[in-house]
Amino acid sequence: MADTSIILSEIEVKLRKLIDAQHRLIEENRQLAGENQALRERNEALIRSGQELQDKINKTTIVNALGNNEEEIKEGRRLIKELIKEIDQCVSILNTKE
């Protein structure tokens, strides 16, 4: 009988340790999920910011292409051609989805 109570006490101690470990892991999981979400939102914001900056660069290049510098004109034409290609790709993607 004494052996049974000792075994049960050991099982109870181990079970409490497992329950405590589970609670710690659940809390850590919640914390990591929150950090993950915050990082995803920051990443999306940085991507949007990068796209906005690229748009500003494109606009500035086009505006500068209207100047008298031959190199700026070539760069502006190249940029316009790239934008036209991108628009054509978007249109073709939209057409394939219909």
Q: Which domain holds residue 55?
A: 2-97
Residue 43 CA to residue 35 CA, distance in Å, equals 12
pLDDT in tens, the chain (98 residues): 678 888 888 999 999 999 999 999 999 999 999 999 999 999 999 999 999 998 888 878 777 666 667 777 777 788 888 888 988 888 888 888 65
Specify the pLDDT at position 97: 67
pTM above 0.75, yes or no: no
Specify the pLDDT at position 27: 97
| Residue 67 per-residue DSSP state | S
* Domains: count for the chain: 1
Residue 56 CA to residue 72 CA, distance in Å, equals 16
